[in-house]
Chain A
Amino acid sequence: MPVIVNPEDLAKNQIFLILTSPGNTRERNIEIIKELSALGYRSVVITTNFPYSVLRKLYEQGGVDLTKVSFIDAVTRHSFGSAENIPGIVRYVSNPANLTDMGIAVTEVLKEHHDGKVCILYDSISTLLIYLSSPNISKFIHFVTNKLRIMDISGVFLAVEKGLDPMLMTQLTTFVDTVIDAE
């Protein structure tokens, strides 16, 4: 299977925007996590689409080594009201629109795993569009990418291809190092 993210670019702590075809995002998510694990990275998955419990199961079924994955889950509390954080494994955010909580969660999870090779996977910018306007998304992604650069951590942002307007796409392109079309 072809490599989605170039390991050399990843080693340079680059930030990637990966565009997937509709209906393919979950499969690409699992493939990227497996690639990252194989390269010795701890993945911090920010999920705005599938709840942690479901995603964990799908990862297991997909052969992902879960000891190398942490989650920031913006779905579960939004749908069910409450869920307890599991230190080092999952941190819940009230809803995908709560960027303050999301920012704090990202900062804290990155601190927890600052020692080894870490990569953030954001799944997905397209789902975030349900909850936030494009200017707010742009600001948030700018905040996260800045944080990643300061902490020398690489990151992967997933989005459905053709789902972003030209203005947002241009802005995101300037925040990341590489745009990958991974249909």
Chain B
Amino acid sequence: MAKPEADTTGCIEAGILENALVMIIVLDHTGTILAWNHAAETITGYRRDEVAGKRDVWKQLYPDKDYRQEITARIATILSAKQYFENLETTIRTRSGSSRIILWNTKEVVQDGNARAVAVGIDVTEQRQTDNFRTSIIENAHILIAVLDHGKVLVWNKAAETITGYTRDQVIGKRDIWKQLYPDEEYRRAVTRQITEIIAKNRFFENFETRIVTRSGQKKILSWNTRRIGTEGTLQDITIGLDITARKQAEEALLSYMTEMAMRLKGPVEIIRDNLTDVAKLIREGKLEPDEIAMVLDGQVRNADQIAHNVKEFQREISMKNKEIPAAYRKFLEGE
């Protein structure tokens, strides 16, 4: 009665082995391949009859000698501590010459009194490419990107390091970065209160501006946007911070420029106008002699000269303060 059961079990195992969507390879203690499933054939391009009973397929899968030695050394190190390895990632070369990234897990089993190693390889090439693409976007973005898990920082990109001065080693896994970015307790509380109010209403916030203090003590203005991702229990917040310090400075410079222009150009031009009107009135009334009229007019010429000089000064100043002005306009403003 026991034999048919064993046959059935064997059939099921063979079915699993063949139909699994992951590479399953069985090796004996010498490294000779005993089993090589369909997925292993599909992924590597090597047929079972080419590899079964042999040990040299690894040379074909890892044709680069240095890399092969490196992998062998890593496996030896792992196996010296335990009888299996988990999530070992290697890059194999397929028969057609393409590269695939395989995530390996092994297990030692005993079959008919003989030790066997079962290696399961998952092709994670596409997943890694997607991960790399995503990482590349995050890393190369010119905006601060942080991913938070209940306030604990999981991701802190290069721009975050550049903008704040805090490296990811100092930030990842911690929750206290915000205390460093907002050292003033009162301001930090005000920001936290505002964020809490916005989140309670919208679950995210857009273009929320705050003033941070960088590691070097520099003050910067950031515009924040957040999105919540995941489902209940695995919620994470993606936080994006755009450094708008230069833009804000430019806006402030522009406001200051406009105000000063209005006061020091419009006002004085009106003074000259009023003075000339006054002189005209005095002339009509016969109250001034020609040389006195000339004196007053000369004074107004001086005033007009000074206003022209002021305009040039203003142009130069606004050009120096605003780094975002295109070169051609900058030259024009600087009077070149």
Contacts and interface: CB of A to CB of B under 8 A. Distances in A.
B234 to A, nearest CB: 52
Interface string A131-148: 101100000000000000
Nearest to B296: A54
B263 A134 contact: yes
Given A163-B263, A163-B270, A79 B298 contact: yes
Contacts, number: 78
Interface string B261-295: 01110011011001101100010000110001001
A129 B295 contact: no
**Chain B interface extent, by class:** 20 to 34
A171 B260 CA distance: 15
B296 A50 contact: yes
A130 B287 contact: no
B173 interface: no
A54 B275 contact: no
Interface stretch (A4-12, A19-27, A85-93, A106-114): A19-27
B307 interface: yes
A130 B264 contact: yes
B312 to A, nearest CB: 14
Contact of A165 (B259, B278, B298): B259
Contact of A51 (B271, B278, B299, B306): B299
A49 interface: yes
A160 B299 contact: no
Contacts of B303: 127, 130
A9 to B, nearest CB: 27
B227 interface: no
B260 A134 contact: yes
B302 interface: yes
Nearest to A54: B292
B275 A49 contact: yes
A98 interface: no
Interface string B180-201: 0000000000000000000000
A54 B295 contact: yes
Interface of B: 259-260, 262-264, 267-268, 270-271, 274-275, 277-278, 282, 287-288, 292, 295-296, 298-299, 302-303, 306-307, 310
3 closest residue pairs by CB, A with B? A163-B267, A23-B274, A130-B268
Interface of A: 22-23, 25-26, 49-51, 53-54, 57-58, 61, 75-76, 78-80, 126-127, 129-131, 133-134, 160, 163-165, 167-168
